[in-house]
Amino acid sequence: MITRKLFLRFPKCETEKPIVYHLVKDYNLIINIFRAKVTANEEGYLVLDVTGREEDIDRGMDFVRSFQVTIDPVNKGVRWDPQRCTHCGNCISHCPTHALHIVDPASREIGFQEELCIECLNCLENCPFGACSSAF
């Protein structure tokens, strides 16, 4: 069993199909949805963890792609811009999973470990310098 974090972008027309249902039912995948925005007549987004056997995940993703859904295997839902970050550390007490963390206690440099991010968006609200942003 492996877990992958995926970022799915749905084109306008495919949002009415129960894709997640089929991933669970037909491909034996365990789904953990972090964040979703799926609205009729608009582009949709889904950020989720899928857990299962590697071949089931691959087959499931082939199924998802058959709907012209784009799959990014990396976290694109929440972005941290190291150029805008001043490393103040205001985010640290608001990030529940320590995705935003202090890399080096001496220099107090901030880092972002994408795979720990559950997309709660606390950092978007709390960064004084606008270093964190959301794809949707």
Partner 1 sequence: MKTYDEINERIASGRAVVVTAEEVIDYVDSRGLERSAAEIDVVTTATFGPMCSSGCFLNFGHSTPRIRMTEAWIDDVAVYTGVAAVDVYLGATELRHNDPANMDYPGRFEFGGGHVIERLVAGKALQLFALSYGTSDYPRREIRTWFTIRDLNQAIMVNPRNCYQNYNVAVNASDKRIYTYMGLLEPNLANCTYCSAGQLSPLLNDPFYETIGIGTAVWLAGARGHVYAEGTQHAPSCRRTDEGLPTEGGGTLALTADMKEMRPEFVRGVSLPGYGVSLALGIAIPIPILDAEVLRRTTVRDRDIRAPVVDYSRDYPEMTGRTLGHVTYEELRSGEVRIEGRRVKVGSLSSYHAARRCAHLLREEVRAGRFPLAPPLRPLPREQGMQGLRITGEPR
CB 23 within 8 A of CB 52: no
* Residue 11 or 130 with smaller CB distance to partner 1: 130
Closest CB to partner 1 among residues 57, 123? 123
Residues 66-95 close enough to bind partner 1 by CB under 8 A: 86-94
114 contacts 95 by C-beta, under 8 angstroms: no
- Residue 80 Cβ vs partner 1, minimum distance, rounded to whole Å: 15
Query: Of residues 8, 110, 117, 123, which one binds partner 1 by CB under 8 A?
Result: 110
Measured distance CA(67)–CA(82) in Å, rounded = 35
117: tokens are 């991010």
> In the complex with partner 1, which residue's Cβ is closer, 41 or 107?
107
When the beta carbons of 29 and 85 are compared against partner 1, the nearer one is 85
Contacts of 2 (CB under 8 A, 6+ apart): 51, 52, 53, 54, 57
CA atoms within a 13 Å half-sphere pointing along the CA-CB vector of 24: 10
Q: Which residues bind partner 1 (CB under 8 A)?
A: 86-94, 102, 105, 107-110, 125-126, 128-130
